[in-house]
Chains A and B, each alone.
Chain A
Amino acid sequence: MWRLFRKQATDADLEEELQAHLEIETKQWMERGLTREQAEMEARRLFGRQFGSRALVMEATREVRGHGGFARLSQDIRYAARVLRRAPAFTGAAVLSLALGIGATTAVFSIADTIFLRPLPYADSGRLVWVAIRDPSIGLEFLPSPDYVAWRRDDHVFQDLAATQASFSSTMLLGGPDPVEVHAGRVSANFIDTFAVTPALGRTFRPDEELPNGPKAVLLTNQFWRDRFQGRRDVLGAVITLDGQPYAVIGVLPRAFIYPVDVKIDLLTTLPVSPTASHRDRSMSTWAAFGRVKRGVTMAQARADVDILYAASKRDDPQMFRAFNSVVFQPLREHRAGNVRTLLFILMGAAGCLLAIACANVANLLLARWSARARELAVRAAVGAGRGRLARQLFTEIALLIAAGTVAGMVLVAGALRGFVHFAAGELPRLSEVSTDSRVFGIALLVSLATALIFGGLPALRAGHIDLHSVLQQAGRGGAAGGHRVMRRVLVAVEVALSVVLLSGAVLLFETLWHMQNDHLGFRPEHSLTIRLRAAGFQGTASDALTAGVLAEMRRIPGTEAAALTQCTPLSIGAFWVTFSRSDRPLPERFHRGDNIGVCGAGPDYLKAAGTRLVAGRFFADGDPPGSLAVVNETAARAYLPGESPIGKQILGGRAGPWKTVVGVIADTKNQGLNQPASPEALVNDTRTANAASVLFIVRTIAGEGAFARALHDQIRADHAGLFARIETLNEEIGESTASPRFNTVLLSTFAAVAFLMAIVGLYGVLAFSVAQRSEEIGIRMALGATPGSVLALVMKEGAALMAAGALAGVAAALVLTRYLATLLYGVAPTDPGTYAAVVIVLALAASAASFLPARRAAMLDPVVALRHE
C-alpha cells in the first residue's frame, strides 16, 4: 500500500520538477522580451524538441528510479493490461486462440494422463497384474477356465488370482412385474479381495458361492443400489430374480469402485468356477485373470512362476496350445492402457497442432501490433528504457494473454472432458476415472508454461530488432516493420501447413465414415427390426412352443411383411464359429485354426425380413427337416467351394453333427462390422432354442417401427408376463457400429475446423497488415499508372505465395503423418490423392477470399490520400 503511495508522491515530485523546468525556460524567454504566452509556447516547443513528450520523460525517469521488483512488476502488469484493454479486438482474438489451444491440449493430455500415468484406483495397485495366454491368430488374450483353476491352485506367487468374463458383461433379466435387463459382471469369489475392495454394505462372496451349484449371491454397485433400491439398507438379505433364478443380495459396493473391464455393470455375481475343470470337458470358458502378487515377490519371480504354470498347461493338452501361443504377464496399468495408443497419439498430435497454430496466430498478431507500435517502443528505448526493460514489458503482455487464455481454457476443459467421457465411452479405457481435478489444473499449467516458453523467445528477438535510428527516422511513416515481415510470413505458412495436416486427417476419417455408412451393405436396413426376447422360461424345450407363439403374434401385427427366428443379423455373424468341413474331403484335425466359418440358424422368412438378396438356388422353406439344409454367403462359396457349384454339396458335418446340404447362395452382408470385409458364413435351417438365454427375431414391417414396437409390447404384457423384449431397428444397430469412427471424425474435424479458421484469420491478418504498411508504395505505383487490377493481383499474389508454401509443406507432412491413421481408416488410402487435392482446393478458395478483402482495399486506395502521409 505504502509503495503505491510513494510512487504517486514520486510522480507528483517529477511532475513538479518538469513544471519548474518549463517555468525557468519561460522566464528566460520573457527576459528576452517575449510575452508570457509566447514564452510559454516557446518553452514547450523547445522542451518537446529536446525531450519528447512529458509523459514519455515521466515514464522513462520513473523506470530509471526503479521501484524494486514487485512494484515494477505490478507497474508492468498495469501497463500491459492498459495496452491490451485499448485493443479489445486483438486481445479477444488472442485470448480465444490461446483458450482453444490450451483447452484442447489440456483435455487430451488429461485423458492420456488418466490412461497412461495415473495409478489404478485400487489399493496397492502396483502389485496387480494381468495374466493371460495370447492367441495371435484371433488377436485375443484370455485364460481358459481349466487353466485358471489349475493356476490358482498351483501358483506360489499370487496373494490372489481372480477371474472375470473376458471383455463383456452378461445381460440378465431382473424379474418382477415389469422385467428389466441388467448388466452383470461375473467374477470369481476372490475378486473383491484381489482388488482390495471393502463393500460399503454387507460382505464379499464366500468361496462356496462360486461353485457351479453353490448358493447364488449378488453384490450391487452403489449406483444401481441407489437407482433401483433407493439406497435402502434393508436390501441386504433380500432375494432378487435374475434370469428366473433367485439370488441373495449380500452387499453393496462402495461408490468409488471401478470394474477393471471397460463394460457397464449394475451388479456382480459369480462365475461358475469348477474345482475339477479340465481341458477334456465338453465346454470350457475363456476368462480374464487378474493377479495380486504377494508382498516380497518380485515381478520377475512372479513371471517365472507363471511360465512354469503355462508349461504345465501345455503338457496337459499339447493340441490346445501351439507354438505361437504365449504367456502374457503385464502390470495391470499397462494392460489397461491397452491398444488405444494410436488413437491417443493422434489426438495428442492434433491438440498439439492446434496449440501450435494458436501460438503462431497470437505471435503473428503480436508482431503486427509491435510493428505498429515500433515508434512508441523506439522512443521508449531512446529515453533510456533499456532493451531488457522493453523485453520484460513485452513479455508481460504475453504472460497476461497466456494467463487469460489459461483461465478461459480451463472453462473449456471442464466442458471438453465431459464431452469426451460422453462420446468416447467404449473407445477409450478408464474414462470413468477422468475428472476435473488439481491434476488437470496442473496439466493446464504445464501446457501454458510450455506456451509461454515458446513465446518467451519472441520479445527478446523483437527487442533485439529495434534499431533506434532507422525507426525514429521512419517513425512518421509507420513503415518500420521490415525486420520481421519474414518471420510473420513464416508463421502464417506454418499455420497453413499445420491446418493442411489436420484437415487431411479429418477428411480421411470423414471419408471412412461415409464409406462405412454408404458402402454396399448387402441388405436393406430400412423398416427392419430385431427383437431380442429374454425369459426365465427359455431353459428347456418349452421355449420352442413359446417362441413359435410369439412369432405367430408378430406376424399378426398389422404391417408385418416377414418375421423370422434367427441367431444372427446381417450385421452380426452367427452364433458360433466352426472349422469348415465338407463330406467329399477329409475332416480337419481337432483344434485346426484355419478355414473358419460362422454358423447361424435362421428361419424361412429370414431372407425377406433382413432384405438380403438370394444369389443362387433357394432359401429354406417351412417343412424342411430342421438342421438338414444350409445356405452359404458369396465369400464362403468363393473361399471354400471355389470353381464349383455349391448347390448340393454336403457341408458342416462329421464331428459337428449331421451333414447339411447346400441349397442356395446369398449375398454378402457386413457381418463383421461395417469396416471389415464380409466373413464366410453359413445359415442353417435350425432355430431350436433349447437352453438359449435369449432368442432373436428379425422382422420387416411396412408400419412404422414405433407402432410395431408398441403393439408387440402390449401383446407381450397381455400374454406372456415376465417376458422382456428389446426392440432395435437395424439402422440403430448400424449407428452403434459407426460410433467409434464417428467419434474419431467429430473430434479431429473439430480440431481441423478451428485450426483452419485460425490459419485463414492469420493469413488475412498478414495481408491486411502488409497492405496497410505498403499503402505509400501502392499509392506511388498507382500514381505511376498501375491499374487497380494489377494492384489487386499484387496483393493476391502475396497471399497465394504464402498459401502455396504452406500447402506444399502441409501435404508433405500429412503424407508422412497420416500413415499413423491407417488402422482407423476404411475404404480410403492414407495417401488418397483426391483427399489432398480437395483439402488444397478448399484451402486455396478460403485463402483467396482472405486475400481478396485486403487486396480490394489496396486496389481502391486513393493515391492522393496514400501519398499525403509522406
Chain B
Amino acid sequence: MQGTLDLLILQVLQWGPQHGHGIGQAIRIRSQEALQVEHGSLYPALHRLERQGWLASEWKMSEANRRARYYKLTPKGKRQLVAEQSRWKQLVRAVARTMKPVKE
C-alpha cells in the first residue's frame, strides 16, 4: 500500500535525518522483517515525498566515507505524520472493532 510506505518513511524520520539505505533498513528491522519495502518503490517514494514538501534532503558524508543524500522531516511533514498517525489509529480501531468476536 502506497500510503503505508509513506507513513513508515515519515515514522522513521521522526528520530532524525537518515539516508535511503538507513530508512529501508530501519523499516525492515522495526517491523521485525514483517514489512519488506515493496518492490523497488523506496526511492521513488522518497523523491515523491520530497516533491510534496514533506521531506527535505541534503548531501552529507555517510558512514561509508562518501556522500549520501540525507532526508529529514519538514514542519509540513511533521504535521502530515501526526495526521497520518491519527488516521492510522482510527483505521486500526475500526478494524479491531469489526474483528471483535460477536457474542452468541
List A residues at the B interface (Cβ < 8 Å).
13-14, 16-21, 23-27, 50-52, 56-57, 60-61, 63-66, 379, 382-384
Q: Note all chain A residues with C-beta closer than 8 A to B48.
A: 64-65, 384
Nearest CB of chain B from residue A204's CB, rounded to whole Å: 75
Cα–Cα distance between A97 and B62 once the two chains are bound (Å): 57
The residue that A66 contacts in the complex, of B2, B21, B51, with Cβ under 8 A, is B51
Q: Note all chain A residues with C-beta closer than 8 A to B2.
A: 384
The residue that A17 contacts in the complex, of B40, B44, B64, B68, with Cβ under 8 A, is B68
A51 touches B67 (CB 8 A): no
The residue that B47 contacts in the complex, of A25, A51, A52, A64, with Cβ under 8 A, is A64
Are A26 and B64 also in contact (CB < 8 A) when A21-B20, A64-B48 are? Answer: yes
The residue that A382 contacts in the complex, of B39, B43, B47, B64, with Cβ under 8 A, is B39
In this complex, the member of A13, A26, A383 whose beta carbon has the largest number of chain B beta carbons within 10 angstroms is: A383
Closest B residue to A52 using CB positions: B40
Q: Note all chain A residues with C-beta closer than 8 A to B22.
A: 24
Interface size class of B (residues with CB under 8 A): 20 to 34
The residue that B44 contacts in the complex, of A13, A19, A63, with Cβ under 8 A, is A63
B40 touches A382 (CB 8 A): yes
Is B63 engaged at the interface, CB distance under 8 Å to the other chain?
A: yes
A383 touches B62 (CB 8 A): no
B66 touches A17 (CB 8 A): no
The count of A-to-B residue pairs whose CB atoms sit within 8 angstroms is 86
Q: Note all chain A residues with C-beta closer than 8 A to B69.
A: 13, 16-17, 20
Q: Note all chain B residues with C-beta closer than 8 A to A65.
A: 47-48, 51
What mask results when residues 42 to 60 of chain B are scored 1 for a CB within 8 Å of chain A, else 0? 1111011001000000000
Are A64 and B21 also in contact (CB < 8 A) when A23-B64, A24-B68 are? Answer: no
Cα–Cα distance between A24 and B43 once the two chains are bound (Å): 15
B19 touches A20 (CB 8 A): yes
Q: Note all chain A residues with C-beta closer than 8 A to B66.
A: 19-20, 23
Nearest CB of chain B from residue A27's CB, rounded to whole Å: 4
Cα–Cα distance between A18 and B37 once the two chains are bound (Å): 16
Nearest CB of chain A from residue B49's CB, rounded to whole Å: 9
Closest A residue to B38 using CB positions: A382
In this complex, the member of B21, B62, B63, B68 whose beta carbon has the largest number of chain A beta carbons within 10 angstroms is: B21
Cα–Cα distance between A412 and B76 once the two chains are bound (Å): 59
Are A24 and B62 also in contact (CB < 8 A) when A50-B37, A51-B39 are? Answer: yes
Are A384 and B45 also in contact (CB < 8 A) when A20-B66, A52-B40, A66-B51 are? Answer: yes
A51 touches B21 (CB 8 A): no
A17 touches B20 (CB 8 A): yes
Cα–Cα distance between A60 and B39 once the two chains are bound (Å): 12
Is B17 engaged at the interface, CB distance under 8 Å to the other chain?
A: no
Q: Note all chain A residues with C-beta closer than 8 A to B24.
A: 50
Q: Note all chain A residues with C-beta closer than 8 A to B67.
A: 16, 20
> 24 interchain pairs (CB within 8 A)?
A14-B43, A17-B43, A18-B43, A20-B64, A20-B67, A21-B19, A23-B66, A24-B62, A24-B64, A24-B68, A26-B64, A51-B43, A57-B44, A60-B40, A61-B47, A64-B51, A65-B47, A65-B48, A382-B38, A382-B39, A383-B39, A384-B40, A384-B41, A384-B48
Closest B residue to A66 using CB positions: B51
Closest A residue to B43 using CB positions: A61
Question: 3 nearest interchain CB pairs?
Answer: A20-B68, A23-B64, A51-B40
Q: Note all chain A residues with C-beta closer than 8 A to B40.
A: 50-52, 56-57, 60, 379, 382-384
Are A383 and B21 also in contact (CB < 8 A) when A27-B63, A64-B51 are? Answer: no
Q: Note all chain A residues with C-beta closer than 8 A to B45.
A: 64, 384
Nearest CB of chain A from residue B62's CB, rounded to whole Å: 6
What 9 additional pairs, Cβ within 8 angstroms, besides A23-B62, A65-B47? A17-B68, A20-B66, A20-B68, A20-B69, A23-B64, A23-B68, A50-B24, A50-B37, A384-B48
Q: Note all chain A residues with C-beta closer than 8 A to B41.
A: 60, 382-384
Cα–Cα distance between A567 and B85 once the two chains are bound (Å): 106
In this complex, the member of B45, B47, B68 whose beta carbon has the largest number of chain A beta carbons within 10 angstroms is: B47
Cα–Cα distance between A379 and B44 once the two chains are bound (Å): 13
